[in-house]
Amino acid sequence: MPIMLAVAKLLDHNYTHVDNEGKHFEKWIAKPFNSSTWFLHVGHCTFYTYQHNGLCKATLTDSLQCPICKDLLTKPKLLPCSHTFCEGCLTQLHSTQVLGNRIMCAVCRSVAPLSNNNVSNFPTNQIVQSLAEDFKERSDKKRATDSTDGASSGQRCTLCDADDQGLATFYCQHCSEFLCDFCLEQHNRFTQNGHHELVSARDIASGEIRTQLACIEHPRELQQFVCITCLVRICCRCLEVGHQPDRHEVIGIEEYEESHKAAVDLLQEKIEQKTAVIQSHSSFVKEKIGMVENIIGQQRQEIENVFEGAVERIRRRKDQLLEECNIYQRSLCEDLEGIIEFHEDFLENLSTKVSVVTEESTAQCGDQSLTERAARVGEIEALVKGDNLDASLPESIALRAEFLTFQQAAESKGLDLGTVQVKEWELRETVSFDGGVTCLAATPDGQLAIATRNGDIKFFSTEGQLLQTTVMEGVRGLGFLKDGSCVVRQTNNKVTVYSLQWEELDGRFETLSKEEDGVGGISVDIHDRIYLDYKKGRKIQMFSPGGGQAEKEIPCDGYEPWHVSVIGQAPES
């Protein structure tokens, strides 16, 4: 037994893969090895490990590899330091060293005596030599097997190391593993695996034989049935316990697989049909998308055309309005330039007269009377003393520029920009009203609305011609919205909005009482906000055109509001 322990220690030191490879055999080994078979199994595990990790990959582990040539040990010689080398490698090593009858280990650098100056006198490592020869024999056999039987399956052994998987020749249904010839030999070595079903890996690859799994509840049995009730795979023993056919629906695995495949094929067919329908519908939807894009595109192009036309009309109207401004500007500038020309002519005439007088003062003009000379000097003095610079004239001409105004068109008139007007007022006609006038306001189209104390509202054109008369009592204030609607404030502070046809529009204005806050006027800004002033109450209310309560109330501290006028464009808020 001590000898076996020493061997085991040596193997454990040199062959580190024994423990790892033992894991591959756990499913095959049902009980511990006895002392008579222990070394045999350890040896086979060692061969199995190095057959897969060594020669097949042209890299050997330290256990069977010469430290000098890095190849499989040949005629291994054991030095006193326990390191092993090829006999040929030691001979070459000794020839390079100058130590006489001694040799230095290439690994630990220890020096050993050399009998008769010949390395062949070192003892042969019999264990390593036996392992190396067995290793080479099995490697050669494996290469031959891989090139014949296993090549057609294409399946690699699932028990070999991942780095060096041999081609599988068999498949174990119970272990669910593909086995090469070497692993098959190890598998069959154990009597516990005698009941395992082995099939050709070639038949598995071709599909001639299906792979099967061991039953979870009964590992010695294969799953051969499917319990439809529980949807689990079962073996024949499960039919006796837990899945009795009289209580559960049970069918064979092949029947279930065929049924499942048929259901999947049918589902795939339905999916293909559904896919075709959806793709057809998608094509139909794409056609409708194209139709929508075409129709909307036509309308978009129509909008572009109308826009371009409107822009062109606006541009022409703009040019027309600007030209009217230019004409009026040129007329005023010509008048002012005429004044400048008059000044230049005056200076030129004065310079000419001065030149004549200067020449007469320096030359002897015997034939010229002194009276004429004195007359010319007196004329020049009169011109110099005269007030020929009337500042009021250019001032009045320049002020006439303010007479030109631009009246923006109401929104109801669409693309019309407005009109340019020159307000060079002159009295054309005097109109008198019996009882007097209470208020007046300009309409968006340039008319003048005048409310009289006789209970009517008269509309006049810009030429002073009476256009229409509307009867309405107690009018205190008038205003007009941009759409031409008329806002009327009566003496009782009632505010009413009338359409162009003088129909009363909906909307009640919450105004203040006449008794507490008094009466006042009315004004409308460019945003159609309505302002009511109250003299007695000293405040101003602001309403929207729709009426209701006042949006804002402005106090008038220290003064009475007699009349409210909106100057320029009031802000929207």
Tens digits of per-residue pLDDT, 289-345?
999 999 999 999 999 999 999 999 999 999 999 999 999 999 999 989 988 998 898
Angstrom distance (rounded) from CA 356 to CA 378? 13
Predicted local distance difference test score (pLDDT) of residue 223: 79
- Tell me which amino acid residue 348 is: E
Considering the domain 2-148, what is its CATH architecture?
Answer: 2-Layer Sandwich (3.30)
pLDDT of amino acid 214: 79
Q: Give the phi and the psi of residue 177 in degrees, each rounded to 5.
A: -130, 145
224 CB burial (10 A radius; 0-12, 13-18, 19+):
middle
Per domain, the residue ranges of the chain are 2-148, 255-394, 426-555
What superfamily would CATH give domain 426-555? YVTN repeat-like/Quinoprotein amine dehydrogenase (2.130.10.10)
Kindly list the strands in the beta sheet with 486-490, ordered across the sheet, starting from the edge strand earlier in the chain. 475-480, 486-490, 495-498
* Burial of 169: CB neighbours in 10 Å, binned 0-12, 13-18, 19+: buried
φ/ψ of 418, rounded to 5, equals 140, -160
CB-based burial, 555-572: b 16+ in 10 Å, e otherwise? eeeeeebeebeeeeeeee
Say what the pLDDT of residue 144 is: 65
Residue-level pLDDT at 427: 61
512: three-class secondary structure by DSSP: coil
Nearest to 131, CA basis, from 173, 74, 172:
74
Reference 507, options 533, 487, 523; nearest CA is 487
pLDDT in tens, 27-70: 333 333 333 333 333 333 333 333 343 344 334 456 788 999 98
Query: Dmax of the chain from CA atoms?
Result: 175
Q: What is the pLDDT of residue 140?
A: 74
- Return the pLDDT at 428: 66
The 3-class secondary structure across 204-229, one letter per residue, is HHHCCCCCCCECCCCCCCECCEEECC
Closest CA to 496 of 422, 115, 504: 504
Distance CA 47, CA 127 (A): 13
Please tell me the predicted confidence (pLDDT) of residue 364.
Answer: 62
| Residue ranges, the chain, pLDDT below 50 | 1-60, 150-151, 573
Contact (Cβ atoms closer than 8 angstroms) between residue 299 and residue 293:
no
- For the residues of 84-99, what is the DSSP string, one character each? EEEHHHHHHHHHH---
Q: Radius of gyration over alpha carbons of the chain, in Å?
A: 62
> Are 182 and 159 spatial neighbours (Cβ–Cβ below 8 Å)?
no
